[in-house]
Structure 1
Amino acid sequence: MGKNIANTTHTFLFCDGGSCQKAGSEKVVRAARAYLRNNDLWDTVHTIKTRCNGRCEDAPTCIVNPGEYWYKELTADKIIPIVKSHIDNNLPVEANLLYKKEWDALKSNREIAPFKPKPFELKDDKELGECFITKGFSSDQYLYPLFLYLLENPKGVTLKMAHLKAMPFTEITAVNYAKTYTLELETATDCIPLTIAGVPKEDKELQKSKISSTEYFYQKNVNQTGIRFKNKFGEVIGIINFDSIDNLAWKYCTKIQLQNASQDLISL
């Protein structure tokens, strides 16, 4: 029988993402749960392991409710006083806080400046010729939303995969991302796999099929825009072409995927 969460007074959400695991999150969780069990608090305090909560530099982390208190750089020794303070006094241990609602900024000792794509640069590309080009993001957190947007806004968008003929994106009927590493583009008669998640280093086939580089380009002489996907070995996996710089999906790419990195591109 599961825990009756209607009886719980506090919830501790421990990040169990890769960075937190490497920093010792499992020891933190075990210490907290042992304390709750041994002090007859198991039925009134709930602990949850979550996926990555986006603060890898502050690992291991934990969020405590009520109050939405964010804790950083936890250890097995630090978590017990934190648990006790919340349960006994409904108060945080401020020395270990990363953030609480009253603050207007994070208190991180390891803050990493967010990465932003560089502005477009004019290059003489071996395959594309003279064009403006920049790199975007290649994680599944960007690629999956990209393909979903193209599914919903396919007008003037063409997909060309290695060893396959070019096809209008209007022929894509669904975008599925249910497999561990692979996104699938479905058509009425076919399924096109794209490896977009982090893959094991020892799996050479997956490494070869994984999109590791996402390049956005603009060929001014023909008013052609597009996206080129490559693997870690520099081999082209596929290319998406847009019919013009005014294409709706291209404008989405420059605004959302590239965070306005190309807002002055037309004047170049």
Structure 2
Amino acid sequence: MGKNIAKTTHNFLFCDGGSCQKAGAENVVRTVRAYLRNNGLWDSTHTIKTRCNGRCEDAPTWIVQPNNYWYKELTPSKGLEIIKSHIHNNKPVEKHLLYCDDWDNISSEKEIPPYKLKPFNIIEDATLGSCYLTRGFASDQYTYPLFLYLFEHSPSSKIVLGDAKELSFSAIKEVLYSKQYVLELVLEHETIELVIAPINQKDTALVKARIAVVEYFHQITSQKKGIRFKNKFGDQIGLIWLSESAWKYCTEVQLQGLSIDKELV
């Protein structure tokens, strides 16, 4: 039987992303849950494991509701202190806070500046020829939205994978990302699989198949624009030839407003 959340007073959201796991999140969660169980507080509270909360540098992290309190660098003893303070005193433990809604800024000594993409450069490429080129983000948080956008809004864009023939996005019936690290391009009679998320580095086949480098290019002579995917070894996995509208989306969203410097043109 599920928990009656209408009867709960506090929700504790434990980050269970990779960085938090490595920092000992599971030990903190088990300690806190044992305390709640042994002190008759299980039914009046709700503990939830979440995926990454986006604050890996402050791992392990929690979010406590109500009032949106974020906690950082947790240990079992800190976790118990926080749980007791919220439940018994209805107060946060400020010395462990990362952020709360009353603050204008977060409290972290480990803040990592946002990664800035490098500008387009003119290169002579063995495959693409003379072109403007830059690297984009290769995370699945970018590649899945990219493929979904092209499928939904740019049917004239085309993809070439390995030695296969050029395939228009209009021929794709569905774009799925329901498997652990595989993006599926569903065609009428087959499904193309692309590895886009972190995988076991000991699995050589997966490492070679995974998209680890994403390059955006604009060919100078032909004026064609596109994306090239490579694995971590620099081997080409595929190309996408973009429509003008798709290129505009890529520069605005995927490249976060980055454009070709007018001085290069």
Same fold at TM > 0.5: yes
* 1:242 CA displacement: 2.0
**SS of structure 2 residue aligned to 1:92:** coil
* 1:62 CA displacement: 0.3
Specify the alignment match of 1:257 in structure 2. 254
Distance (Å, rounded) in 1 between the aligned partners of 2:155 and 2:4? 50
1:90-239 alignment to 2 at 5 Å?
A: 90-239=90-239
Distance (Å, rounded) in 1 between the aligned partners of 2:215 and 2:193? 19
Retained in 2: the 8 A contact 1:14–1:61?
yes
Which sections of structure 1, spanning at least 5 residues, go unmatched? none
TM-score (norm 1): 0.95
Retained in 1: the 8 A contact 2:183–2:195?
yes
Distance (Å, rounded) in 2 between the aligned partners of 1:242 and 1:149? 12
**SS of structure 1 residue aligned to 2:183:** strand
Question: Aligned pair in 2 of structure 1 residues 53, 115: CA closer, same or farther (>3 Å)?
Answer: same
Q: How many residues align?
A: 265
Question: Aligned pair in 2 of structure 1 residues 229, 35: CA closer, same or farther (>3 Å)?
Answer: same
Distance (Å, rounded) in 2 between the aligned partners of 1:209 and 1:107? 40
Q: What letter corresponds to residue 14 of structure 1 in structure 2?
A: F
**SS of structure 2 residue aligned to 1:221:** coil
**SS of structure 2 residue aligned to 1:188:** coil
Which sections of structure 2, spanning at least 5 residues, go unmatched? none
TM-score (norm 2): 0.96
Specify the alignment match of 1:41 in structure 2. 41
Distance (Å, rounded) in 1 between the aligned partners of 2:41 and 2:263? 63
In angstroms, what is the RMSD of aligned CA positions? 1.4
Retained in 1: the 8 A contact 2:10–2:45?
yes
Q: Which runs of 4+ in 1 moved over 3 A?
A: 263-267
Distance (Å, rounded) in 1 between the aligned partners of 2:117 and 2:138? 11
Distance (Å, rounded) in 1 between the aligned partners of 2:157 and 2:26? 46
Retained in 1: the 8 A contact 2:28–2:75?
yes
Specify the alignment match of 1:248 in structure 2. 245
Distance (Å, rounded) in 1 between the aligned partners of 2:204 and 2:118? 30
Question: Aligned pair in 2 of structure 1 residues 199, 265: CA closer, same or farther (>3 Å)?
Answer: farther
* 1:160 CA displacement: 0.8
Q: What letter corresponds to residue 245 of structure 2 in structure 1?
A: L
Retained in 1: the 8 A contact 2:154–2:245?
no
> For structure 1, which segment, 154-163 or 230-239, has the greater mean C-alpha deviation from structure 2 after superposition?
154-163
Distance (Å, rounded) in 2 between the aligned partners of 1:26 and 1:93? 21
**SS of structure 1 residue aligned to 2:226:** strand
* 1:155 CA displacement: 4.2
Retained in 2: the 8 A contact 1:133–1:217?
yes
Q: What letter corresponds to residue 253 of structure 2 in structure 1?
A: I
Q: What letter corresponds to residue 91 of structure 1 in structure 2?
A: K
Retained in 2: the 8 A contact 1:120–1:265?
no
**SS of structure 2 residue aligned to 1:54:** coil
